[in-house]
Amino acid sequence: MKADKRPETVPSEAIWDESDQDWGVGKENKEGVKIGEWNYWLPDGRLYLRIVFDEYGEEISETYFPPAHVPKDAVWDEDDMEWGQGERNEEGDEIGEWKWWLAPTGHLCCHTFFDNEGNMESAKRYHPNGEIAMEMSYNSDGYEIRNYYRCTQETEEYFPDEECKLKGVWKASRKVGVSPLNYNFYNKSGELLDRQDVDFTRYVKGPDSETAIQAIRRYEKVIKTIQKEVDITEDFEEDLELYWKPYFYKQISEDELQKHEISLGIVFPPSYKEFVVKYGLLIFGKESQCNRKMFLDYETMTDALKDYWNIDVEKEDSIEAKERLNKVFIFSTGDESLQSVYYHCLDFNTLNKETGEVSIVNFNQDEWGYFIEDERKEMCNTRGFDKHIRILVDEAIDDLLSEIE
């Protein structure tokens, strides 16, 4: 917004500040630092703020002036930058009807009712143009009913945008009695927004016979279906490409993989080797730093614990424990935050000598002791890498669909 015309109430020497959207007048020292008293006027010409600076430019005091429509008995709250009007009980709790007007414009921003103990009974918040931003009450069972609304003009009032990936959202209605918080979303006509009744049932869980590449293709179909048939926001459309969609980011030759086998003293399981040689190294999301990112910098769990967490397995436990963890090879990072799962590993303690297959295990540095338990040595009776990718895809699809529910 630009100040096209100086209001009559604004002094001629006042200077327009484009960033703060106000007129200001006062003194400056030789270095251009504000000193003494400064007064500020809004674009409509109303004096709304006075700041006093010391000789070094440090703020001494700040006074907001309420517009004429704010009641004279309304009390200024410096923390919330608003004027409030209402009564308090002997304990100082707000009771009965309360209203608040937000600085600097002084628009009515909140209208709330409390009981005599100070418990909130109902509330409404308003956008600067007077449209309702939020309304809250309780149903007969004592559950909170809360709705948020967008505004036809620019506003700083809260709306749970981050919870919805669908277009055309106007209203967000918090689901009653649900934890963690969740919402139903509606368009301006009051119609419930959903994923257009697209049936993802056939994609949710892969069969036991599914190979790794079949699982990846299943996941890609889910993403393409969402992009084609669900009315998602442009931001979420971009997020799908950047953080969800699987990519093969590096091709690997059989000779290159064989060099690693010789160096490590192992033979990679067929399901893993076939996948890597034919398709390459995989990552979920091309802009992700570590989301299920496969790599060739193989390392035993023993070395990883020592290098990154200063844990000496032999000292902490036993030589046998060290020998077991020396057979667990890290080949991929875990989840994006590296909280639930830090690494995915090939566990050669589970080697099936007939098939050459091993189980894929998840590693979290706080749970390394589980890997030395006898039950963790159970022989692998499946194509371990295929099963691993199938499980990852099942989890990824479940997480992705929850984003558009």
Q: Decide if 160 contacts 185 (C-beta within 8 A).
A: no
Q: Decide if 389 contacts 219 (C-beta within 8 A).
A: no
Any idea what DSSP says for residue 166? Answer: B
Using CA atoms, how far residue 289 sits from 134, 164, 222, 293, 333, in Å, is 38, 24, 23, 8, 9
The mean per-residue pLDDT over the stretch 86-113 comes to 95
Report the alpha-carbon distance of residue 313 to residue 322 in Å, rounded: 6
Domain boundaries, the chain: 15-64, 201-403
201-403, CATH topology level: SMI1/KNR4-like (3.40.1580)
* Token reading at 106: 């002084």
Q: Which residue has the higher pLDDT, 333 or 213?
A: 213
Residue type, 395: E
Q: What is the pLDDT of residue 265?
A: 94
> SS3 for 29?
coil
The residue written with tokens 């090879």 in the block is 329
Report the alpha-carbon distance of residue 294 to residue 284 in Å, rounded: 10
Any idea what DSSP says for residue 368? Answer: G
Report the alpha-carbon distance of residue 50 to residue 61 in Å, rounded: 8
Q: pLDDT band for position 84 (50/70/90)?
A: very high
* Token reading at 95: 């009771």
Report the alpha-carbon distance of residue 119 to residue 126 in Å, rounded: 21
Using CA atoms, how far residue 317 sits from 308, 324, 378, in Å, is 18, 11, 21
Report the alpha-carbon distance of residue 304 to residue 314 in Å, rounded: 14
Residues making up the chain, counted from first to last: 405
Q: pLDDT band for position 296 (50/70/90)?
A: very high
| Cα 380 to chain centroid, rounded | 37
- Cβ neighbours for 179, distance < 8 A, ≥ 6 positions apart: none
SS3 content of the chain, % helix, strand, coil (to 5): 30, 30, 40
**Strand 328-333 with 343-347, pairing:** antiparallel
Which pTM value belongs to this model?
0.60
Sheet containing strand 59-64, strands side by side? 15-17, 22-28, 34-41, 47-53, 59-64
Q: What is the pLDDT of residue 376?
A: 63
> SS3 for 400?
helix
Q: pLDDT band for position 390 (50/70/90)?
A: very high
Report the alpha-carbon distance of residue 65 to residue 27 in Å, rounded: 21
Report the alpha-carbon distance of residue 250 to residue 270 in Å, rounded: 19
Q: pLDDT band for position 200 (50/70/90)?
A: confident
**Strand 183-186 with 171-174, pairing:** antiparallel
Q: What is the pLDDT of residue 351?
A: 95
Is pLDDT at 338 greater than 60 in this prediction?
A: no
Report the alpha-carbon distance of residue 202 to residue 273 in Å, rounded: 28
How high does pLDDT run on average in the chain?
89
- Cβ neighbours for 144, distance < 8 A, ≥ 6 positions apart: 136, 137, 138, 174, 176
Tens-digit pLDDT profile for residues 272-290 = 999 999 999 999 888 777 7
Residue type, 328: V
| Cα 164 to chain centroid, rounded | 12
Residue 303: Cβ within 10 Å count: 15
Is pLDDT at 23 greater than 90 in this prediction?
A: yes
Residue 309: Cβ within 10 Å count: 11
Q: What is the pLDDT of residue 2?
A: 57
Q: Decide if 95 contacts 118 (C-beta within 8 A).
A: yes
Using CA atoms, how far residue 195 sits from 51, 204, 231, in Å, is 52, 15, 7
